[in-house]
Amino acid sequence: MSVRNLLSLNLGTRLMRGVAGGRAWLAQLNGDAAYAHYLEHWGEKAHAGIPLSRAQFYCSELERRWNGVRRCC
């Protein structure tokens, strides 16, 4: 392989890693990672029934986060 091919391969690898990192960051930001983690946890435990849908999970997370007292005093 020529030096140019090695450099372009290295650049392509770095670019793909950057894209993958950006997608992971975006998944954390919009809540997709939380749902994926919920499904992994649900699969590891012996639960009866079926897991929540993405919409049901989103609603339950909103309720969990915002219902109740949210102040210091």
Mean of pLDDT over the chain: 77
DSSP assignment of 1-70 equals --HHHHHHHHHHHHHHHHHHHHHHHHHHHHTHHHHHHHHHHHHHS--SS-PPPHHHHHHHHHHHHHSS--
Residue 9, domain extent: 1-30
Question: Is the pLDDT confidence value at 30 over 80?
Answer: no
Confidence class for position 59, pLDDT limits 50, 70, 90: very high
Per the structure, the count of domains in the chain is 2
Task: For residues 21 and 43, state if they share a domain.
Answer: no
pLDDT at 4: 61
pLDDT(1) > 70: no
Does residue 63 carry a pLDDT above 70?
yes
24 in the same domain as 55: no
